[in-house]
Amino acid sequence: MKNLLKRIRFRINGDVYQKLNDFRDELSDKIDLGNQLVLDANEQKLNNLRSDFQVENQHILNVSQQKLSDLRGEVLSKIDLGNQYILNVGEHVKLLETPPPPPLTFSCPALNTFQLAFSTRYADRIQCASFCCENLEEIPTVPLCDSGKESIHNIMVKRQQMLLNPFSWGKLCVTCTGYELNRHKTSEQITYVNLSMLPAPCQCRCIYCENQNTASVNLSPSDEKNYDRVFGALEYANTRGLIANDARWQISSGEITIHPYKDRLLRLVHNKATLFFTNCFIYDEQIASNLLHNARSCINLSIDSGTGKTWYNVKGVDNFSKIVENVDRYHANSVRNGQITLKYIMLPNVNNRLDDYVGVIELMKSWGVSELTISRDITEKYVMNSDYQNDLINSVRDFVSVLRENSFRFVLHSFSFEEKQKINA
């Protein structure tokens, strides 16, 4: 009986175990199925949500891009408007700042640019100042005073009177080649100072020079007083700021290298742009130093010849080779080409020869000179006859032709407009 009960119990337990296993398997399958269903549902929801997000993001992006585009357009429009406003304001300011063009009037460039010349002008033996250095006896002048302040005051007053009434200058000014109808700009400061006082020494005996030339000169008390008046006027003008910082100075009072006031003249132009008119008989270290330390400074030699023979005929001294040697030294101590400048005073039947023209061109090449000033004998300018004038024009035209063939520039100085036209024809 006991065995039977054991077998029955065993069978029952086995069935229960089997059913439990089957139930477990079925439950596991359903759980797996449920999990899969949940996963599938979540995946679908996630896909749907992702799709919704993408649509929404695209919408936001489209809206943002449109807003950005609108904002960019608005900003650019405001920038354009601002730029136009700035331009309009700038044009308005420019109109306010830009002075109207000067009136069309008869005047002289030397007067308008405020050039000041101290040359052979005297009133009762008193040195005068003028506004140009034309070789005319009756040009407007201002007698200098013992007081530099008073001299400069009188110069300023005289200049203003002339500017206001250009027809009051006198007949000789009106006939000058510099007197012209133009829109002249007027400077309030002195821009050019020409120091050509006499008496002064010079070793040359140039055939066109109307002053007595000696290697030394004895100055009288009145001569010394006149020099003091010039220095006093310029020293006062300097201290009052009446001379422009970039003004050009010219020393052509005889020969500077042997001048009794050489040191005072050179102190006056120390560190200033200066044009030294020199015959180059003597090489001067102070002039060379000025060239070296001021690129706007230069020397001017009236070469007037290209051969030793013609030099002697014009200058009266047989030292052409020494002149070339000294200019070589000045050129070696200059800081740029162009600090050696040359002038050629054309003298018909004296220096209008082809070998002189060729000789000058070779010297120009050697000294770095690119431009030659061609002038005339100013003592003949207002008294010459037609034959002399024709010879002069033809001679200058021939020289100009040679210069052009060698690619050199030239300036025609002291020639009238009509004469220049004939020379360039």
Higher pLDDT, 49 or 420: 420
3-state helix, strand, coil in the chain (%, to 5): 55, 15, 35
What is the structure's pLDDT at 290?
A: 95
Q: Is 376 helix (H, G, I), strand (E, B) or coil?
A: strand
Closest CA to 248 of 156, 115, 420, 109: 115
Sequence ranges of the domains in the chain = 1-98, 105-269, 278-425
CB 362 within 8 A of CB 306: yes
Classify burial at 167, counting beta carbons within 10 Å of its beta carbon; exposed 0-12, middle 13-18, buried 19 or more: exposed
Query: Side chain identity at 66, as an amino acid letter?
Result: Q
Q: How many DSSP H helices and E strands does the chain contain?
A: 12, 13
Q: Which two tokens stand for residue 136?
A: 């005319």
CATH of the domain spanning 278-425, picked from 3.80.30, 1.10.20, 3.40.91, 3.30.70:
3.80.30
Lowest mean pLDDT across 41-50, 142-151, 171-180, 373-382: 41-50
Q: Work out the percent of the chain whose per-residue pLDDT is above 70.
A: 80
263-301, pLDDT tens digit by residue? Answer: 999 999 998 999 999 999 999 999 999 999 999 999 999
What is the structure's pLDDT at 70?
A: 73
Q: Which two tokens stand for residue 152?
A: 């400069």
Strand partners, 182: 105
Radius of gyration of the chain (CA): 48
Mean pLDDT score of the chain, rounded to an integer?
A: 86
Whether the pLDDT of residue 93 is over 70: the answer is no
| pLDDT mean over 48-60 | 66
Its pTM stands at 0.73
Query: Side chain identity at 105, as an amino acid letter?
Result: T
Alpha-carbon gap, residue 398 to 418, rounded angstroms: 17
| pLDDT mean over 156-169 | 86
Give the model's confidence band at 82: pLDDT under 50 very low, under 70 low, under 90 confident, else very high: low
